Amino acid sequence: MRLGLRIALLSAVLAIELVGLGFFIKGFFPYKKSIPGFASQQDQPKDIGGKLQSAYGARQYDRLVIMLVDALRNDFVFGNNSAMSYTQGLLRSGDAMGYTAKALAPTVTMPRIKALMTGTVPNFLDAVLNIAESDTSSSLKFHDNLLWQLKNQGKTINMFGDDTWLRLFPDIFTETDGTSSFFVTDTVEVDANVTRHVRPELERGGWDVTIFHYLGLDHIGHLAGPDSSLMKPKQEEMDHVVRTVHEIVTKQDAQRQIEDPNAKPTLFVLLGDHAMNEIGNHGGNSHLETSTVFVFMGQGIHGQPIADQGKNALSALLTREVPQINLVPTLALLFGVPIPKNNLGLPLADLIRGYPDEERLWLLQLAAHQMYGVVQANDGDTGAIDIDASSKTPLHCDKEQDAASQSLRCEYMQALSAHRRFVDSESAKAAEMAAVAEREYYKFMEHANAHLSRTFSGYDLKAMATGIALFGVVALLLVGLYQSYSSGGSGGGIISYKTKEIKVSLPSILLLATYLVSVQSSSLIEEEHQFWYHWVQTMLLLRMIASKSFSAGSRSFAQMCLFRVVRAWNQTGQKWTGETDIRYRLNNSHTRLMWILVVVSFAFFGICAGWVHKSALLSEPAAAFQARRSPLHSPSPDIGSSQNNSKAINRYKRRLAYGQRILRGIYATALANALVYQMERNGGWEAIGIGRPVWTAVRWFTPTDLSDVARFVYLLTLAAAGVGAVCAWLRCRVGYSEPAVASMLEGLVGILPLLMLLARPHNIPVFGMFMAMFLLFFPQLVPGMHGLNRRAAVAQTDSEKEPAARCGGWRLPALQPSKALVHLCLAHASFFALGNSNSLASLDISNAYAGVSRYNEVLVGVLLFVGNWAGPIWWAVAGLATFVLASSGSATKGRRLQRLVEWLVAAHLWQALTLLMLSIVVTSMRTHLFIWSVFSPRYLYQIAWFVAFYLLVGTVGSTAWLAWTM
């Protein structure tokens, strides 16, 4: 099969896979089913008591202040080490009521605000849309929500802070001042911009609802973690805002009630949208990420005074947990507005406890009626209820015999019946009957909440099945395309019937089989790093066993030792994520050592660049090399036979030498600026003991503004790519034997300044170990390590195999894994080794804004991917360098491109089978308890692996670069 035809077929297959992915995403990540329209007072049920039908509910408050502190974890308010002393004082005195509010995954801002205002379980895809500031498809303009209900009652609503509110609630706010939530490097101005509105806006009057959304605490978590020295000052700052708001509204309420005895007080709510884990990130469903706060303050709020004023006085609030969505019905009832139609939350019992029994049961009847409406909307067979008839006859509900919705209908009727018994009871038994009715209402709502939370997803199974079918077709086509290499003499393919040979190695078969099994388990998905860590060591061990010399075996052993250190660097996953690791020790007790390792790593990168640039691989023309090649290869034409050609070639050589000197200068400058950026941004120069005069002198040679330093590194990286491309073209013009080898090695070291700029400081030494592992594959690149003939070592290919084992005339699979297979394992393992996991909480957005002056979705998205996939990207470049090194001196340009396409087919067969299996798993597990907390995030990661890594970086990038440099 011709090369051009294979490329066309591969492109067509990948296009089909993208179409299949589109179908599956459409079916698996639809917008939630919701009841259309907005609740109104005409929707209210008939009051069983018959006395309260003139009003939807007796409102207790006129005005509302919501202070939302992004990522406010419960221990930041209730914990022993909290710096929020004023808030804790209100809780101790009983003037405030506190809860640990449990959020659901995904724990990112947009879906959490949706939950807080609608009482629903938001669409998981909102975690992706959360990043896109221009997205309007997630707007709640046409979905019932608490703010719309308050606005519909004539309330004036103002918002200051995170502009996510403006996207979600267009046309709701009167006064606004939005700030971008994604400039995580800003921890000061982003909050100062909100605080400057607090006193003027509250004291001005004329408002009914005011929302303040603070972002600085979340940004500190992303930048430095919850134990940062910046965290307590930020908590003190937030506590001061709480005090200011509380004092202002308390004073205003007193004055308003003097002027108007019918005026109602102001309710002040301090809350968080989500929390953060032990390293400051969020998005997953760990206990730390989901444990945020509710603190209610204002007249009528009577918490339990705490006599014990000791350090652990508020520790009970850390375990006093309520669902976050319970805020919606609670506020709706307290303000006398209809509960949003799709709400799944329950009223907080403590906050409606002050109502008389008759009014409290009426409010619970309203809440239960609204939730029963959601049950009806999700099951058309659940009929309406005649309150007069159903509330007079006690019922017995059989949960085992009845369907879930019918069981809920029965429980709702039981609650109405208990309510009727209270109305008909004698005064002596009224309190007891009220308590029974309240328990029945809450039992129904709790069971309805549990049932609806599991079923409140509208999957399009036809679209999902179409996607899976297309994935199956893609897998079969890739198998056929890869098998076509078995007859082409390339050494590829799966089975060769002509030579009776199984061509894939045994490790690759076992790797694929075990991986396809692992994605079916939620625990193995959470701990996927263990899978890759063990396979990397297994591959290296097999290479050591199959080595034909002591030096080769010792290098494999050294790689195993290096990787053992790498795997201990960052604990990740779920089970051991909180365990002490090297990262923790370096950031806490050995900061100076960490920065010494950072500087040493940068110096090592510079040395490696010198080895690359001085290598004979980069400077030997074809004629010199051809003289030492095998007689099987015909010599190149005499490029010096023509005087004119000789002059042209000498001119190109001079330009090439000049270009290489420029390239070395660009790389050294970029590396130095990346180091300066890291040390300035994270205080490394102070930790390492560099005096301010010395550091000031160093900074004199770099851009003054830190953002300009990052932009300078970006510019130098682009310049290095451009100069490298020109040098590659010049090598081809001069007639160098292996221009691709030189270009790929230059790319391997040239990409490091960009990756180091976006890396966490503690991860920089890990890249040093990655580089050392790569050099151990090719010792001839290191001066002094010439145990093998230098050119022979470079030309050594992975096609060398151990003596064939045969069974029934068939050659059995090889035991020794190829370098390509080892690089595949290292690419995936490096993703986890840098601290990532299959949870959205591990996404590090702190450096996605390095050098970004204003929010740009595309730029930030690219930097976010490069920063989090830095390890796999580096190993992808290393794999391409390995490819050209292994085939140098033994392959023509066409043969090398054909071999590259073969590699790409094998890689895409791997990811296509993974995507197919994972799609089947999430479809079959769509009702599983962990579908949104484990399987869905894993699927989002698989999309990123396929589209961004395998397709764009691995296929488009590698093919384009290699085609240009050969």
| DSSP label at residue 95 | S
pLDDT at 304: 80
pLDDT at 656: 81
pLDDT above 70: residue 639: no
pLDDT at 795: 41
**pLDDT tens-place string over residues 495-527:** 766 767 777 788 888 999 999 999 998 889 889
pLDDT at 478: 92
| DSSP label at residue 948 | I
Higher-pLDDT residue of 776, 398? 776
Average pLDDT in the 572-586 region? 81
pLDDT above 60: residue 591: yes
**pLDDT tens-place string over residues 677-706:** 999 988 888 888 888 899 899 989 989 888
pLDDT at 557: 94
**pLDDT tens-place string over residues 701-713:** 989 888 899 999 9
- State the Cα–Cα distance between residues 891 and 104, nearest whole angstrom: 56
**pLDDT tens-place string over residues 912-936:** 999 999 999 999 887 776 777 788 8
Average pLDDT in the 243-256 region? 94
Q: What is the 3-state secondary structure (H, E, C) of 863-901?
A: HHHHHHCHHHHHHHHHHHHHHHHHCCCCCCHHHHHHHHH
- Would you place residue 309 in the very low, low, confident or very high pLDDT band (cuts 50, 70, 90)? low
- Please check whether residue 50 is in contact with residue 422, taking contact to mean a CB–CB distance below 8 angstroms: no
Among 8-17, 141-150, 235-244, 653-662, the range scoring the smallest mean pLDDT is: 653-662
Among 148-157, 424-433, 549-558, the range scoring the smallest mean pLDDT is: 424-433
- State the Cα–Cα distance between residues 563 and 604, nearest whole angstrom: 18
- Would you place residue 383 in the very low, low, confident or very high pLDDT band (cuts 50, 70, 90)? low
pLDDT above 60: residue 313: yes
Average pLDDT in the 416-429 region? 84
**pLDDT tens-place string over residues 871-903:** 999 999 998 888 877 766 555 667 777 788 888
**3-state SS assignment for residue 97:** strand
pLDDT above 90: residue 781: no
**pLDDT tens-place string over residues 438-487:** 999 999 999 998 888 766 556 788 999 999 999 999 999 999 888 887 65
pLDDT above 50: residue 378: yes
**pLDDT tens-place string over residues 93-141:** 999 999 999 998 788 888 899 999 999 876 666 666 555 545 555 678 8
pLDDT at 791: 43
pLDDT above 90: residue 669: yes
- Would you place residue 339 in the very low, low, confident or very high pLDDT band (cuts 50, 70, 90)? very high
pLDDT at 400: 56
Task: Tell me phi and psi for residue 135, to 5 degrees.
Answer: -70, 130
Average pLDDT in the 652-675 region? 88
- Please check whether residue 547 is in contact with residue 556, taking contact to mean a CB–CB distance below 8 angstroms: yes
Average pLDDT in the 315-328 region? 91
Higher-pLDDT residue of 117, 790? 117
Neighbours of 41 (CB within 10 A): 12
pLDDT at 487: 57
pLDDT above 70: residue 792: no
Q: How large is the angle between the packed helices 643-681 and 739-750, nearest 10 degrees?
A: 20
- Please check whether residue 244 is in contact with residue 199, taking contact to mean a CB–CB distance below 8 angstroms: yes
Higher-pLDDT residue of 67, 856? 67
pLDDT above 60: residue 634: no
Handedness of CA 825, 827, 832, 833 (dihedral sign): positive
pLDDT at 788: 39
Among the listed residues 24, 17, 21, 912, the one whose alpha carbon sits nearest the alpha carbon of residue 462: 24
Among 144-148, 342-346, 408-412, the range scoring the smallest mean pLDDT is: 408-412
Among the listed residues 511, 537, 329, 360, the one whose alpha carbon sits nearest the alpha carbon of residue 439: 360
pLDDT above 80: residue 379: no
> Encoding tokens for residue 548?
């034909």
Average pLDDT in the 4-25 region? 91
Average pLDDT in the 311-315 region? 72
From the number of C-beta atoms within 10 Å of its C-beta (0-12, 13-18, 19+), residue 815 rates as middle
pLDDT above 80: residue 54: no
* Percent with pLDDT over 90 in the chain: 42
Among the listed residues 950, 933, 932, 953, the one whose alpha carbon sits nearest the alpha carbon of residue 942: 950
pLDDT above 90: residue 548: no
**pLDDT tens-place string over residues 793-840:** 444 444 444 555 556 566 666 778 888 899 999 999 999 999 898 887
- Please check whether residue 333 is in contact with residue 347, taking contact to mean a CB–CB distance below 8 angstroms: yes
Average pLDDT in the 937-951 region? 93
Among 401-410, 632-641, 647-656, the range scoring the smallest mean pLDDT is: 632-641
Higher-pLDDT residue of 346, 130? 346
Average pLDDT in the 280-297 region? 89
> If you average pLDDT over every residue of the chain, what do you get?
83
pLDDT at 789: 41
